[in-house]
Amino acid sequence: MRSDNVKKGDQAAPARSLFNALGFTREEMKKPMVGVVSSYNEIVPGHMNIDKIVEAVKLGVAEAGGMPVVFPAIAVCDGIAMGHIGMKYSLVTRDLIADSTECMALAHQFDALVMVPNCDKNVPGLLMAAARVNIPTVFVSGGPMLAGHVHGKKRSLSSMFEAVGEKAAGKIDEAELDYFDEHVCPTCGSCSGMYTANSMNCLTEAIGMGLKGNGTIPAVYSERLRLAKTAGYRVMEMYEKNICPRDIMTEKAFMNAMTVDMALGCSTNTMLHLPAIAHECGIRLDMEIANEVSAKTPNLCHLAPAGHTYMEDLNEAGGVYAVMNELSKKGLLNLDCITVTGKTVGENIKDCVNRDTETIRPIDDPYLNEGGIAVLKGNIAPDTGIVKRSAVVPEMMVHEGPARVFDCEEDAISAILGGKINSGDVVVIRYEGPKGGPGMREMLNPTSAIAGMGLGSSVALITDGRFSGASRGASIGHVSPEAAVGGPIALIEEGDIIKIDIPNNSLNVDVSDEVLKERKEKWQPKKPNVDTGYLQRYQRLVTSGNRGAVLELP
């Protein structure tokens, strides 16, 4: 046991005395020490129930012969952080979570880990840590929120953000806005659509690090407590078999995750997180491959905000494994990958049937013949631009219009809510990338304002920032290289004609190479907008969005 380093022999006597101070018995100290990484807090709705999940995990670990020991991980609520300086601190927590968990796990010599995350950066941050530490690890999340009900219709957080735009356009009054905010988020859990948190929790199943139902069982269901106990049992089995995260998170497993991503219509943020997790596994996951995967992977699900079904519906339809079973019918998955169950993907999904062919379309009758995410390239985005194709209305798949240029999110929001954006415009928000933000803020407020004001079918938005999974419409993010490093998005001028062609994966400004070269010669970098604290360090170390915004020493 790795934990013998702190439990056995004369040299470990001081550490044993501290375990005694913690109340551990001699019998407990003979057992494998399992860290239970708790993301519980009282500020994130998706995390307020995690204390109960953690207690169930501890019981499962103890029953299976381990010594469970809880330590914390932080988490930010993107919905609360949205639209102000707080969003600069969202993506950056992914690395803080990975770093702090690595420190705790190795400093105290744990033998195994159970990760209990739920929301946006919490899941990928802990997956990154799992890859680094590489001891037997199982994921069990806090679970998704049930959908809200507004005037008899299911609703979620994206509806709430769009209601703000509706009020600005005079479509609803303050009383109606109040009614929305009291009814769209009715329970604990990660917000109820296929947003980033639920996307990443679903992908823990696809990549093999989470048990069946981890991404879809609602937070308030007792079934999730049973799942948590099972996670405790499974991690002890993994310990006995010495199955570690890098045995599971192989290149083939990442291809499975990408394929399921395309079928589910996940958040575009997965295109940041999967490369970052792969990087920790020593695997280069180039976003160029996304279009290849998309071209052969049908989009089987249109969950909110792309459609009118929610996580609870996906769960009832059979969950992620049912989607994977549909994909396997066309040979689209690597079925021999090992998972935390100790079985292969093929063994896990073979009996998982699709119980609702509207929530999960059959493989021969998909919503789209291609996957939910597309990578665009062109003279605006020589490296990448990312769009959630499954959430774009047909009339905006090809669009051409004048650029309306803003150097920060706040200026764009003022223009949109002030009625200064017109049908046909292409809103450009730049200097919001990983370095430029810093922190690559999500643009849910502007996309929701555009949709709420009735412009979702006629106005596009491009940015070197990113989008919440709750965004919908022709919203193209992760434009790389970003403006802060002199990427072409920094050279766009007001009124330039932007040409978007999602079916052909292209994003261009109708300006000659010669003119762009002249503009580049005149371009001056902006001074760093932070000069202290964690954001300053992050700004210096972070790489481009097309590389997953991973940190590297200069």
Where in the sequence numbering do the catalytic residues fall?
468
DSSP bridge pairs for 309: 303
Query: Which tokens in the block code for residue 286?
Result: 């180039």
Beta bridge partners of 71: 37
Q: Which helix (H) or strand (E) holds 320?
A: helix 319-328
- Which tokens sit at 501? 């062609």
Q: Which two three-digit tokens encode residue 197?
A: 């948190």
Helix (H, G, I), strand (E, B) or coil at 373: strand
Strands 373-376 and 460-463 turn out to be unpaired
Phi/psi of residue 469, nearest 5 degrees: -60, -15
In terms of Cα–Cα distance, which of 297, 115, 267, 263 is closest to 191?
Answer: 267
Number of Cβ atoms within 10 Å of the Cβ of 84 = 12
Residues 311, 304: contact at Cβ < 8 Å?
A: no
Residue 369 to residue 95: CA distance in whole angstroms: 35
* 408 strand-pairing partners: none
Q: Over 391-418, what HEC string results?
A: HCCHHHCEEEEEEEEECCHHHHHHHHHC
Helices then strands (H, E): number in the chain?
Answer: 21, 14
- Within 8 A by CB and 6+ apart from 221, the residues are 143
Look-up of token digits 């018995």: 25
Task: Return d(Cα 150, Cα 417) in angstroms, integer.
Answer: 24
Q: Can you tell me the distance from the alpha carbon of 121 to that of 70, in angstroms, rounded to the nearest whole number?
A: 20
- Residue 378, sorted as left (phi over 0), alpha (psi -120 to 50) or beta, turns out to be left
Is 490:483 a contact under the CB 8 Å cutoff?
A: yes
CA 147, 277, 6, 339 torsion-angle sign: positive
Q: CA 82 to CA 74: how far, in whole Å?
A: 17
Helices 319-328 and 251-264, interaxial angle, to 10°? 100
How far, CA to CA in Å, does 109 sit from each of 35, 103, 113, 204? 9, 10, 11, 25
Rounded alpha-carbon distances, angstroms, from residue 510 to 79, 403, 499: 36, 10, 7
* Structure token digits, residue 131: 């890859």
Query: Three-state DSSP class for 69?
Result: strand
